[in-house]
Amino acid sequence: MFGFVVNRLLATIPVMVMVTIFVFLLLRLAPGDPAAVLAGDNGSPQQIIEIREGLGLNQPVLVQFGTWILGVVRGDFGKSYFFKKQVSELILLRVEPTIALAITTLIITILVAIPIGVIAAYKHGTWIDRIIMALSVGGFSIPAFVLGYLLIYLFAMKLDLFPVQGYKPLAEGFWPFLHQLILPSLTISAIYIALIARITRTSILEVLGEDYIRTAYAKGLTPNNVLFKHALRNAAVPIVTVIGIGVALLIGGVIVTESIYNIPGIGRLIVDAVLGRDYPTIQAIIILSSFFYVIVNLLIDLTYSLLDPRIRY
Amino acid sequence: MNWRCIFPKTLARIIVAAVIALSLCFCMQSKAYATITLRAVMHSDLKIIDPIWTTAYMSSYYGYMVYDTLFAMDSKNTVHPQMVQDYEVSDDKLTYTFTLREGLKWHDGASVTSDDCIASIKRWGSKDSMGQKLMEFIDKFNVINSKTFAIKLKEPYGLVLASLAKPTANVPFIMPKRVADIPASEQITDYTGSGPFVFAFDEWKPGDVTVFKKFKDYVPRIEPADWGSGGKVVNVDRVEWLSIKDHQTAVNALIEGEVDYIESPPTELLPLFEREDNITTRTLDQLGNQFILRLNWLHPPFNNVKARRAVLAAIDQISFLQATIGNPKYYKECPAIFSCGSALATDKGTEILMKSDIKLANKLLAESGYDGRPIVLMHSTDVDILNNLGPVVADKLRSAGFNVDLQSMDWQTIVARRAKRDKPADGGWNIFMTALATADIMNPIVSVGLNASCDKAWFGWPCDARVERLRDQFARATSLEAQKSIATELQVRAMEIVTHAHGGQYYRPSSWRNDKLSDVIGGPFPIFWNLTKAK
């Protein structure tokens, strides 16, 4: 197991190197000039040249890459062109909302998706199954920006149960924190609930046909025991895989929801950085996101061995 | 089948525990803040906190919160002393002597001095176009004492006070000498000002919220507030500028009372406010903005004046305004290149612009020898006010006979690409559209579009000795009559050679909760003094 983890971690190094080179070059090839953005609408051509020199953007790309990569190796992602703050500081400011959103989304998803997936499988072919599957198709099909506005209209503007927008850190109290996150989490959860409920249903259906399930019933176990102790555990590997991928996607994939609910998370930071051509910020977020993906995938692999004793590394 | 069999006990316990926890949390809702906080949604987030280093409007708005100015303009375009108590102009109009008001303090408690003012004027004068012009005329600065200083000119200059009262980017804000001594090519990192608000740097979350706190030692003037002039009396403890990117979310937040003020809600969402009794929508910036259509003089076909005139003949303002603003309440056709409502406004020479005449455009284009090459029209898709402009301009130009290559891109790509002098086929361009605050085009010195100094001119690089000569004459004119006469001549010339086309004047109203805010005053920038917020 230890060797497996070390090997996997070592394998991330070439991946990260490729990502850094790719991201750096991609940004330099993309249209746009941070100096022109910084100069403002009335900035003169001369001012743009001065700003470009000040940022070192007039240097050869290789020199720029060398300067940047040396900083990254030392853990210094540089300063934002715009805010004159360390990029790491900007990212830290934005991590909490995104992580909080991801966790609440995950909790809602697991609490809802797995039970309804199990129920759909258990009631396979009945109207209950059909309703659950129809709802899951709806969950897949409704874009976040539509569902988000609908939830805001109903629960925030008509029923006054939740705020329209904003984020409150956990330090301001658990309820204010949670109160702000419920609607955005529900918005993102819809698609994950749909996905995981369907995967759960399919996996459970496969397992329910196995001999050991019949044996379990023959031994007189209750449906509760059969479903959750025998069937669900054996069906868990594909479910965990989808949940894991979902977690990784959540971190970078909440841009629309963060915009609709005005949550100052990583998603909005990267959009702002891309629109402003803030190269150091974009580079740092992409590198850290890539690293996060690699780690999440590693954790998923390790979870397999916990769920299925036959899997050993 | 019994449903209790399907749900495991553990899951049921988790759900019950969660419900109990949530119920408890309802009882622990946070208490109301004791301080009066005004929450405003601005048109963009604050990125750069050096209002001299950049011309970004948000940085100027920030500057008005944190800094003060020696002079300021009121709503009648009259210049008033602001930090200055008294000033004198010598009979030969070569020496301006300024005495600062008593009680002016920096946020760190030190007093504002003459040295601070001189250093600030120098820094601004090295960056801003109007400041640079002023500096050309300044012979030297004299410090008379810590509160009094003088500017000695080489020759009389008619825009000394107007320059020091310039209302929009770059505004001549006064900074401490230690800050102003930093070259204007470097961004400052010391945010000490002497304005009515203190910038709370530690609470600044870029892209999310910018916080200002009331400066308790600020001594306002006794005159009523009017734009940047008069008494800046602060009646709130704290102002938060929120960056809400999604317009619909900002509008919903105002309707629900989660925010107090939106600087410029998009016009298409304004009808949502009309049925809300608690929301007032009003145009606070009575100067408004003007669309600008800029042609690139460096490359065919617009290196030929007839092709440029063909563009003027083809377009008209009303098409632009209807496509972008829609509601006539918020726009007007304006023939004046220095904006309607300004002291220099005239309609001379702009007849060709005000009505689309496709036949004339066809004729002019044919005379220009246009060979049918594609003209690259850069169209911004992510700035709501510009989004509809590109297709309208393209349609008009196609009718005139131009082969238009309408290229859609985000605004930041346009600002980068417009600086390129390459041929359009090699990544350059022929036409771009933008919008400028009217305060930025109110006279020939400040208007970037009128600068025709070839390589030193704004993007598009128009080149005309006569325009430059007239701009110089304007700077030297010391009476309003003389300035008007020169400005009229300049407008006629600018239309003859087509430095740019102005596409009509429009206004962005602001909206606020009238059950919370009162005494909101207008200006060419959002004003957060004078107003009060109900507790």
Give A263-284 as a DSSP string. Answer: --SHHHHHHHHHHHT-HHHHHH
Query: In B261-304, which ranges are continuous DSSP H helix?
Result: 271-274
Distance CA B164, CA A212 (A): 88
- Which of B531, B530, B526, B445 has the alpha carbon at shortest distance from B63? B526
Contact between B297 and B428 under an 8 Å Cβ cutoff? The reply is no
Which chain A positions have a beta carbon within 8 Å of B11's beta carbon? 111, 115
Distance CA B419, CA A37 (A): 11
- In terms of CA atoms, which chain B residue is nearest residue A168? B30
Distance CA B475, CA B447 (A): 13
Given pLDDT bands bounded at 50, 70 and 90, which one contains residue B45?
confident
Distance CA B269, CA B204 (A): 29
For strands B68-69 and B71-73, give the pairing. unpaired
Q: Which residue has the higher pLDDT, A153 or A5?
A: A153
Residues 353-382 of B with CB under 8 A from A: 382
Q: Which of A32, A85, A122 sits opposite B206 (nearest CB)?
A: A85
For strands B37-41 and B238-242, give the pairing. parallel
Residues 153-172 of A with CB under 8 A from B: 156-157, 160, 163-166, 172
Whole-model pTM: value is 0.86
Q: Residue A83, Cα to own-chain centre: how many angstroms?
A: 25
- What is the b/e burial string over B450-488, where b = at least 16 CB atoms within 10 angstroms of the residue's CB? bbbeeeebbbbbbbbeebbebbebbbebeeeeebbbbbb
Contact between B175 and B123 under an 8 Å Cβ cutoff? The reply is yes
Domain boundaries, chain B: 289-506
| A86 in contact with chain B, both atoms CB, cutoff 8 A | no
pLDDT at B469: 96
SS (H, E, C) B428-496: CCCEEEEEEEHHHCCCCCCCHHHCCEHHHCCCCCCECHHHHHHHHHHHHCCCHHHHHHHHHHHHHHHHH
Distance CA B446, CA B163 (A): 9
Residues 205-264 of A with CB under 8 A from B: 222-224, 227-228, 259-262, 264
Distance CA A248, CA A289 (A): 8
Nearest chain B CA: its distance from A107 CA (Å)? 11
What's phi and psi for B367, nearest 5 deg? -65, -25
Q: What is the mean pLDDT of residues A263-272?
A: 90
Q: What is the mean pLDDT of residues B126-155?
A: 95
Residues 102-141 of B with CB under 8 A from A: 127, 129
- Which of B452, B437, B448 has the alpha carbon at shortest distance from B494? B452
- In terms of CA atoms, which chain A residue is nearest residue B44? A272
First to last CA, chain B: 58
Please calculate the CA angle A46-A52-A57 and round it to the nearest 5 degrees: 150
Third-level CATH fold of A91-307: MetI-like fold (1.10.3720)
Give percent of chain B with pLDDT exceeding 90: 79
- Which of A150, A42, A202, A78 has the alpha carbon at shortest distance from B457? A42
In the numeric block, which tokens belong to residue B345? 């406004």
Contact (CB<8Å) B169/A271: no
Superfamily of domain B289-506: Dipeptide-binding Protein; Domain 3 (3.10.105.10)
Q: Does position B160 have pLDDT exceeding 70, yes or no?
A: yes
| B20 in contact with chain A, both atoms CB, cutoff 8 A | no
Nearest chain B CA: its distance from A95 CA (Å)? 13
Nearest chain A CA: its distance from B143 CA (Å)? 30
Contact between A153 and B45 under an 8 Å Cβ cutoff? The reply is no
Q: Does position A134 have pLDDT exceeding 50, yes or no?
A: yes
Mutate to test the interface with A, among B19, B27, B55, B409 (most CBs of A within 10 A): B55
Nearest chain B CA: its distance from A83 CA (Å)? 6
Given pLDDT bands bounded at 50, 70 and 90, which one contains residue B5?
very low
The mean pLDDT value of chain B amounts to: 91
Contact (CB<8Å) B409/A90: no
Residues 386-445 of B with CB under 8 A from A: 409-410, 412-413, 415-419, 434, 436, 440
Residues 45-84 of B with CB under 8 A from A: 45, 47-49, 54-57, 59
- In terms of CA atoms, which chain A residue is nearest residue B60? A40
* Highest mean pLDDT out of A201-205, A219-223, A239-243, B139-143: B139-143
Nearest chain B CA: its distance from A159 CA (Å)? 11
| A118 in contact with chain B, both atoms CB, cutoff 8 A | yes
Q: Does position B371 have pLDDT exceeding 80, yes or no?
A: yes
Give percent of chain B with pLDDT exceeding 70: 94
Contact (CB<8Å) A259/B249: yes
pLDDT 10s digits, A25-70: 988 888 778 888 888 777 777 888 888 888 888 899 899 999 999 9
| DSSP helix/strand/coil, B341 | coil
- Which of A268, A265, A200, A270 has the alpha carbon at shortest distance from A228? A200
Contact (CB<8Å) B256/A80: no
Which chain B positions have a beta carbon within 8 Å of A40's beta carbon? 54-57, 59, 169
ipTM: 0.83
Q: What is the mean pLDDT of residues B340-360?
A: 92
pLDDT at B26: 45
Please calculate the CA angle A274-A279-A285 and round it to the nearest 5 degrees: 75
Contact (CB<8Å) B6/A32: no
pLDDT at A243: 86
Q: Which of A41, A90, A118 sits opposite B436 (nearest CB)?
A: A41
Given pLDDT bands bounded at 50, 70 and 90, which one contains residue B10?
low
| Contact residues for A179 (Cβ-Cβ < 8 A; gap 6+) | A162, A163, A168, B25
Compute CA distances B74 → B189, B342, B460, whole Å: 31, 12, 33
Q: Which residue has the higher pLDDT, B446 or B99?
A: B99
pLDDT at A228: 81
Nearest chain A CA: its distance from B203 CA (Å)? 11
HSE-CB for B247 with a 13 A CA cutoff: 15
Given pLDDT bands bounded at 50, 70 and 90, which one contains residue A231?
confident
Residues 31-60 of A with CB under 8 A from B: 31-33, 35-48, 50-51, 54
Mutate to test the interface with B, among A28, A29, A37, A42 (most CBs of B within 10 A): A42
Contact between A250 and A102 under an 8 Å Cβ cutoff? The reply is yes
Distance CA B143, CA B148 (A): 6
Q: What is the mean pLDDT of residues B112-118?
A: 98
- Indicate left, alpha or beta for B341 from its phi (over 0: left) and psi (-120 to 50: alpha): left
pLDDT at B25: 47
pLDDT at B410: 85
Residue A13 burial by CB count (10 A; 0-12/13-18/19+): exposed, middle or buried?
A: exposed
Which chain B positions have a beta carbon within 8 Å of A90's beta carbon? 206
In the numeric block, which tokens belong to residue A271? 């959009």
Mutate to test the interface with A, among B4, B7, B47 (most CBs of A within 10 A): B47
What's phi and psi for B434, nearest 5 deg? -150, -175
Domain boundaries, chain A: 2-73, 91-307
Evaluated on CA atoms B105, B110, B112, B118, the torsion sign reads negative
Contact between B245 and B239 under an 8 Å Cβ cutoff? The reply is no
Q: Does position B7 have pLDDT exceeding 70, yes or no?
A: no
Q: Does position B22 have pLDDT exceeding 80, yes or no?
A: no
In the numeric block, which tokens belong to residue B336? 């004046």
Q: What is the mean pLDDT of residues B291-316?
A: 96
pLDDT at B19: 52
Mutate to test the interface with B, among A95, A164, A258, A274 (most CBs of B within 10 A): A164
The DSSP letter of residue B170 is: S
Please tell me whether the peptide bond between B170 and the residue prior to it is cis, using omega within 30 degrees of 0.
yes
Nearest chain A CA: its distance from B354 CA (Å)? 25
Compute CA distances B250 → A93, A262, B263, B265, whole Å: 22, 9, 10, 8
Contact (CB<8Å) A32/B416: yes
| DSSP helix/strand/coil, B5 | helix
Side chain identity at residue B108, one-letter code: D
| Contact residues for A58 (Cβ-Cβ < 8 A; gap 6+) | A49, A52
Contact (CB<8Å) A262/B8: no
Q: Which of B8, B249, B459 sits opposite A224 (nearest CB)?
A: B8
Please calculate the CA angle A88-A90-A96 and round it to the nearest 5 degrees: 95
Given pLDDT bands bounded at 50, 70 and 90, which one contains residue B3?
very low
Residues 157-186 of B with CB under 8 A from A: 169, 185-186
Given pLDDT bands bounded at 50, 70 and 90, which one contains residue B21?
low
Compute CA distances A129 → A103, A198, A233, B201, whole Å: 28, 10, 21, 56
- Which of B444, B406, B415, B377 has the alpha carbon at shortest distance from B162? B444
pLDDT 10s digits, B473-508: 999 998 999 999 999 999 999 999 999 999 999 999
For strands B510-513 and B261-262, give the pairing. antiparallel
Mutate to test the interface with A, among B129, B208, B289 (most CBs of A within 10 A): B208
pLDDT at A309: 74
First to last CA, chain A: 5
Contact (CB<8Å) A173/B28: yes
Long-range CB contacts (< 8 A, 24+ apart) of A84-88? A84/B49, A84/B187, A84/B189, A85/B206, A87/A280, A87/A281, A87/A284, A88/A284
Nearest chain B CA: its distance from A140 CA (Å)? 23
Residue B524 burial by CB count (10 A; 0-12/13-18/19+): exposed, middle or buried?
A: buried
Mutate to test the interface with A, among B53, B60, B188 (most CBs of A within 10 A): B53
Contact (CB<8Å) B417/A31: yes
- Which of B280, B203, B265, B282 has the alpha carbon at shortest distance from B240? B203
pLDDT 10s digits, A153-174: 999 999 999 999 999 999 999 9
Q: Which of B127, B208, B246 sits opposite A260 (nearest CB)?
A: B246
Q: Does position A240 have pLDDT exceeding 80, yes or no?
A: yes
pLDDT 10s digits, A89-126: 999 989 999 999 999 999 999 999 999 999 999 899 99
Q: Does position B56 have pLDDT exceeding 60, yes or no?
A: yes
Distance CA B481, CA B494 (A): 20
Contact (CB<8Å) B246/A38: no
